[in-house]
Amino acid sequence: MVATATSSLCEAANASVQGQASEEKLISSAKQVAASTAQLLVACKAAGNAVKRAADNLVKAAQKAAFDKTEVDSVVVKTKFVGGIAQIIAAQEEMLRKERELEEARKKLAQIRQQQYKFLPSELREDEG
């Protein structure tokens, strides 16, 4: 609406300069631009408020989900000695497995970087410069 009203205003201004349009048409077009712009501003404010509310709700939901997850992740330690040892062994096993996976990921990243380095132009390589 703003663009259409502005286009009409430009046409009216051009016609007025050439003596082909009335002063009233120019004034009417200018008022339409102002009214359309005011409507646009009201719509933007409403949309901005809606986005703010939605973002606030998203943050609250994410915080609640994170809080709920922490409660679920809490460890229940078994009180019997044998059960406690089994828990320790299982936790150490998981830790070692994840450390191995991390090391494998580091090696893979190093290989990728080596391969990319081979494709660099010779002037960008440090060892040949």
Give residue 129's pLDDT band: very low, low, confident or very high (50, 70, 90).
Answer: very low
Report pLDDT digits (tens) over 33-70: 999 999 999 999 999 889 899 998 898 888 888 777 66
Report pLDDT digits (tens) over 21-31: 788 888 999 99
Structural domain boundaries in the chain: 1-74, 79-128
What SS3 state is found at 76?
Answer: coil
Residue 83 to residue 119: CA distance in whole angstroms: 55
Question: Biggest alpha carbon distance in the chain?
Answer: 101
Q: Which of 9, 15, 63, 5 is nearest to 38 (CA)?
A: 5
